[in-house]
Amino acid sequence: MAGMVPRMIGSGAQRAAGRSPLAQLLHALNQPLTGLQCSMEVALAVPRTPEQYIRGLREGLELTERMRALVEAIREVADGEEERKEQHRENDNPDMTELKSVLQTILDDLAPVAEARSIRVTCEDSAGLSRVVRMGQQRAEVTMFRLLEAVMSLAVRESVVGIEMGGISGAAWIRVGWRPATATSAFSQPELGLLIAQASFERAGAAWERERRETLETVTIHLPGVSGL
């Protein structure tokens, strides 16, 4: 993917600038909650026909489902933060995990998803080196799965998802680029998956950049304290 994914600035990145994943999720929860309240107030304001009540109930169920998905994502992010604090109290030397082996394991697991959507995945390592990250094996696998599963869901069918790794001076980065499908909800299940992955990487000390330009979108994760072995 070398040269394929330029540095990009997108409206999504600008909207989320300065906000943590948890803050974004809490902010998003306000919209369906307010919508549900308004729907109930309207239903009680004046008599309505049975059809109007049924329509209002359906809209309320849709809003409730959105809130449920957001609450589940909030809980997962919050649980991950508590887990990080607990591990920090118990052990000042976090586990180290080899990034390339984790990536290969997750790509194997997601092969049926890629096949179902006719997505081809390309991987490149600019230095051809192993990358060791300061994350436990299980956490790294869960986080990478969240990231790539979400990207494959957001990518247009019959397209390419490009993965590139590189690094210098003891630091490393991984970049995932894809051609997004038609516009989806800002907090659809794949978008929530990306936020959860972002929170997990950031808990490990990584910096997350999501950018979009025309028909190409990327997530770049800068991993501090990583050694090329």
- 212-223 confidence digits (pLDDT tens): 888 899 999 988
Tokens of 29: 């929860």
Q: What is the pTM of this model?
A: 0.79
Q: What is the pLDDT of residues 183-209, one digit of tens each?
A: 667 788 999 999 999 999 998 888 999
Residue 198 CB partners (closer than 8 Å, separation 6+): 21, 208, 210
- CATH code at 27? 3.30.565.10
Q: Which pLDDT does position 166 carry in this prediction?
A: 82
Per mean pLDDT, which range of 89-98, 101-110, 173-182 is the poorest? Answer: 89-98
Tokens of 9: 């600035």
Residue 39 CB partners (closer than 8 Å, separation 6+): 56, 59, 60, 63
Q: Identify whether the C-beta of residue 10 lies closer than 8 Å to the C-beta of residue 213.
A: yes
Q: Identify whether the C-beta of residue 121 lies closer than 8 Å to the C-beta of residue 163.
A: yes
**What is the total count of domains within the chain?**
1
Q: State the average pLDDT for the chain.
A: 82
Residue 12 Cα to chain centre, angstroms: 13
For residue 20, the enclosing domain spans 1-229
Q: Which pLDDT does position 227 carry in this prediction?
A: 46
Nearest Cα residue to 208 out of 157, 146, 156: 146
At 139, is the pLDDT very low, low, confident or very high (cuts 50, 70, 90)?
confident
Q: Which pLDDT does position 63 carry in this prediction?
A: 92
Tokens of 126: 């600019």
Q: Which pLDDT does position 169 carry in this prediction?
A: 64
Q: Which pLDDT does position 18 carry in this prediction?
A: 63
Between residues 33 and 95, the one the model is more confident about:
33
- H/E stretch holding 52: helix 50-90
